[in-house]
Structure 1
Amino acid sequence: MRLAHHWRVPVVPQGGNTGMSGGATPDGSGRQLVLSTRRLNRIRRIDTANDTAEVEAGVVLQALQEAAQVAQRLFPLSLAAEGSCTLGGNLATNAGGTAVLRYGNARDLTLGLEVVTPSGEVWSGMRGLRKDNTGYDLKQLYIGSEGTLGIITAAALKLFPLPKARRTALMALSGLVAAVALLEHARGELGAGLTAFEVISARCVPLLARHFPALRWPFAQTAPVTVLLELSDYENDAHARNVLDRVLEHALEAGLAVDGVVGESVAHSRALWALRESLSEAQALEGVHVKHDIALPTSAIPAFVAAAEDSVERFAPGARPAWFGHLGDGNLHFNVLAPMASDPDRFVARQSELNRLVHDQVAAFGGSISAEHGLGQLRRDENVRYKHPLELRMMQAVKEALDPLELLNPGKLLPARESQEALHIP
């Protein structure tokens, strides 16, 4: 990095190359240096007394999960790409995943960082402290900054005790209003034991049947909404089963659910999770679709979906919103598939208009256009439309203070300096 600084060469950090917003992709100039963190792949230390792990940025997420389990600990960050994504990228994008409801985002799991600055200096803030009020919390600037302020090279991360038991349930519900009501009830009944609350729309179910016929959908009828709920219990398996049965019974008696099944074994629970985890690939196999990684207040999601689906239908009759996501933390993947038997190129050509339509609805309901995938290049300019000008100026001031030469990942998250006037950034 010191050499790049000396010669004024822009640097694009890369981890596992699993990002979905173009945040680790260089521009087409041929003048940017790609810097891989793959060789920074050591788990330096696991401290069970402090419940922390010190890891380098190139460590694959699944490798840390497995190392923590060997030490009888849990590292709870869990993503579909966990077998190939790296922790540096997870931190740079403030990754979320399926357990945010209980454990928080990557930001919430981080106690300290080691960072290389644009000038090549190394800042070591690897103190595994849960309390440190000695100044600005600098690590939070780098988490979620998509490599635009510094290169994360290592992190001190939180670990947790392993649950004594886990139970998973799949419930067929009458709609999103029922799903939000069930979430509220489950939170009250299960407390911190509720580790996942995933939602699947009806349009997703035939995609699984078409592209993953080996996966068995457990219900004879497709409900408007299906939720997958996970309980992590610190007593025993019998207690977990009893508590989850009570939640299912309440859902049926209250008319929220029309059917439900509780995983009877580890293998059965994995099969239920496979239904949820195969949705992204099923949509990719189905063909052209436009992705939206959005966040909303959970209470607003039913009204948002109704409004957004109506807007999409008026914009592109026959288009298929096939949404799913992490209802427990308000993160929805509102993906829109092209109409059946339509011209995919024509649909893609209108992608920007479709994005604007969906994102305007997100803004109207008080949401965010990027929940866990980052802005990268794909959502960067859209973000200018929805951020308050003062907030944009504050973000730019941070960038100019820490990277005045604009060497680190230029044109990501924030527009490059020369583009800001064209985008009307004051």
Structure 2
Amino acid sequence: MQALLDNLRQLIGAQHVLTDGDLSAYEHDWRKRSRGKSLAVVRPGNTAEVAAVVKACAVTGVSIVPQGGNTGLVVGSTPDDSGTQIVLSLQRMHAVRAVDAANLTMTVEAGCILQSLQETAANAGFLFPLSLGAEGSCTIGGNLSTNAGGTQVLRYGNARELCLGLEVVTAHGEIWSGLSGLRKDNTGYDLRNLFVGSEGTLGIITAATMKLYPQPAAQLTAWAAVPSLEDAVTLLGLAHQHLGAGLTGFEVMGQFALSLVAKHYPQQRVPLYQDTPWCVLLENSDNESETHARTQFESLLELALEQGCVTDAVVAENLAQAHALWHVRESISLAQAEEGLNIKHDISIPVSRIPEFVRSTDALLQANIPGVRLVNFGHLGDGNLHYNVQAPAEGDPAQFLRAQEERVNTLVFDAVIAHGGSISAEHGVGSLKVGHLEHYKSPVALEMMRGIKQALDPQNLMNPGRVVQVGNAGF
């Protein structure tokens, strides 16, 4: 191992091969669910250096854990506790390589912070629509590796739909340059989409060409109280009819989820939640004018009030009010963490079946685990719920997790599958869900996934133990 470390220091500089000091930022996962121990944290500065590191590790049989902002929620970007894995951090690779205005694309390196992409696009007069709570620290490489979603999937799609090209270092240390930015290229297998969502198990994304969009003339935000999830689904249908492609966000939040924000962040004003079981946050992006957008919004809400699927609503009067409403939504996860340990579920279900799923699964959990508290919120517009389970108010939350996590996961995942859903919508599989995949994924699909893994990473050195389970050697 010492010979490998000496080689890596020669390849990228001794100051970028970290073995001493506090490495917790690289070895702890974001939720503090797991802490590993790395052989070294290696920080290459360009794609050629990434390739050289991968080749050196392949020769010695040392596995690699690629890492961006380390903000993932499924323990997919931190090392195990063996002290034998290299953490390959892409944080030094954060350049914006090019903005092509005519092609509506931006080419960036994998370590570029998501918020930096948004700001670079805005400064060039464009919109980069990927938006999520960790955007100030997550990286585009990590977003692509998990096929991140966020709040505007309804209109613009997941990270996969926003990506036109990739640069990837393979498990053999070769560089695939696929950054053309073409919207049409029908010359064989879609390698780009294979690497997107693979969580670093097939190769290391080092750069990407992403889509840009014209800035909307106006963006308006509304907050509505709804009597039930069925009414939220009805409102979603009305919004599709009246706003069309202008509907860029549709978030649902349960009363208990919002009560946690009000409890732990009293400086925030949480509208309407005390008198309704559910609230909805809508965003309307208009290409005509703010007056047109507001007229559309008001007409939609008037109709919804008449039909009874909305009981009260407010429309943000300015950008500051809109930001405040979105800040409430983005604060739910933080407020839940303040409340104590919890069991998170990132699930997707056909929108039409979400009300029945929530009703039946809430009842199932409450019957099996008295006092359990349910934190329900998420992206109703695209069928993605964050269906989280909080420990009972009385008792030891850590003991609750130890005693109940597997039971809760089984009850929830069985219900998800029974309702035609998926146990991972936008957070990925990582190591937390890889064992569950064996039970909930088609055996045929798993066999094809293993075949792809074997073909592209025959030594099983790229982020082993994540996404798909394989043998340590020879599969």
TM-score, normalized by the shorter chain, greater than 0.5? yes
Quote the residue 1:40 is aligned against: 93
- Report the CA distance shift for 1:360/1:341 in structure 2 as closer, same or farther (over 3 A): same
TM-score, normalization: structure 2?
0.87
State the percentage of identical aligned residues.
54
- Structure 1: any 5+ residue segments left out of the alignment? 422-426
Q: Secondary structure at the match of 1:95?
A: coil
Q: What amino acid sits opposite 1:387 in the alignment?
A: K
Output aligned runs, 1:53-202, within 5 Å.
Answer: 53-202=106-255
The residue identity in structure 1 corresponding to 2:222 is A
Residues 67-103 of structure 1 show CA distances to partners (whole Å, capped at 9, x for unaligned) of 0000000000001000000000000000000000000
- Residue 211 of structure 1 aligns with which residue? 264
How far apart are 1:315 and its partner, in Å?
Answer: 1.7
For 1:21 and 1:100, how far apart are their aligned partners in 2? 20
* Structure 2: 5+ residue stretches without partners: 1-53
Counterpart for residue 422 of structure 2 = 368
User: In 2, are the aligned partners of 1:323 and 1:335 still within 8 Å (CA)?
Assistant: yes
Contact 1:177 1:302 in 2 (8 A): yes
- Report the residue type matching 1:172 in the other structure: A
Distance (Å, rounded) in 1 between the aligned partners of 2:256 and 2:322: 23
Aligned residue type for 2:98: R
1:223 to 264, 276, 281: 276
CA displacement at 1:419 relative to structure 2: 11
Q: Write out per-residue CA displacement over residues 131-185 of structure 1, whole angstroms, 9 at most, x where no aligned residue.
A: 1111111111100000000000000100000000000000000100000011011
Q: Which structure carries more relative contact order (alpha carbon 8 Å, separation 6+)?
A: 1
TM-superposition CA deviations, 1:251-286 (whole Å, max 9, x none): 100000111000000111111111101100000001
The match for 1:358 among 409, 412, 435 is 412
Aligned to 1:276: 329
**Alpha-carbon separation, structure 2, partners of 1:212 and 1:21:** 26
**Separation of aligned partners in 2, 1:209 and 1:140:** 41
Residue 220 of structure 1: how far off its partner (Å): 7.2
Return the alpha-carbon distance in structure 2 between the equivalents of residues 207 and 419 of structure 1.
Answer: 47
- For residue 261 of structure 1, what is the aligned residue in structure 2? 314
Matches of 1:267 and 1:10, distance apart in 2: 47
| Residue of 439, 442, 456 corresponding to 1:388 | 442
Is 1:409 paired with 2:463?
yes
Q: Deviations over 1:319-371 (max 9, x none)?
A: 01111000000000000111111221331111011111100000000000000
- In the TM superposition, what whole-angstrom CA distance separates every residue of 1:227-256 from its partner, at most 9, and x where no partner exists? 000000000010010000011111100000
> Which residue of the other structure, out of 242, 247, 256, is the alignment partner of 2:300?
247
SS in 1 for 2:311: strand
The Cα of 1:418 is off from its aligned counterpart by 5.1
Mapped partners of 1:166, 1:419: distance in 2: 53
Does 2:375 correspond to 1:322? yes
Equivalent in the alignment of 2:66? 13
Query: Take 1:61 and 1:345, find their aligned partners in 2: how far apart are those partners?
Result: 33
Q: Is the 8 A contact 1:60 1:86 kept in 2?
A: yes
Aligned residues: 421
> Cα deviation per residue 1:360-385 (whole Å; 9 max; x = unaligned)?
00000000000011100001101111
Give me the whole-angstrom Cα distance separating, in 1, the residues matched to 2:273 and 2:465: 49
Provide the secondary structure at the position in 2 that maps to 1:358: helix
Paired with 1:295 and 1:69, the residues of 2 have a C-alpha distance of 31
Q: Which one-letter code corresponds to 1:109 in the other structure?
A: L
CA contact (8 A) 2:347 2:384 kept: yes
Opposite residue 356 of structure 1, the aligned amino acid is T
Q: Let me know the Cα RMSD of the aligned residues.
A: 1.3
For each residue in 1:103-150, what CA deviation from the matched residue of structure 2 results, as whole angstroms up to 9, or x when unmatched?
Answer: 000000010000000110000011110111111111111000000000
- Partner amino acid for 1:111? L
Report what 1:424 is aligned to: none
- Contact 1:21–1:377 (CA under 8 A) maintained in structure 2: yes
Counterpart contact for 1:205–1:222, Cα < 8 Å: no
Give the superposition deviation at 1:218.
2.3
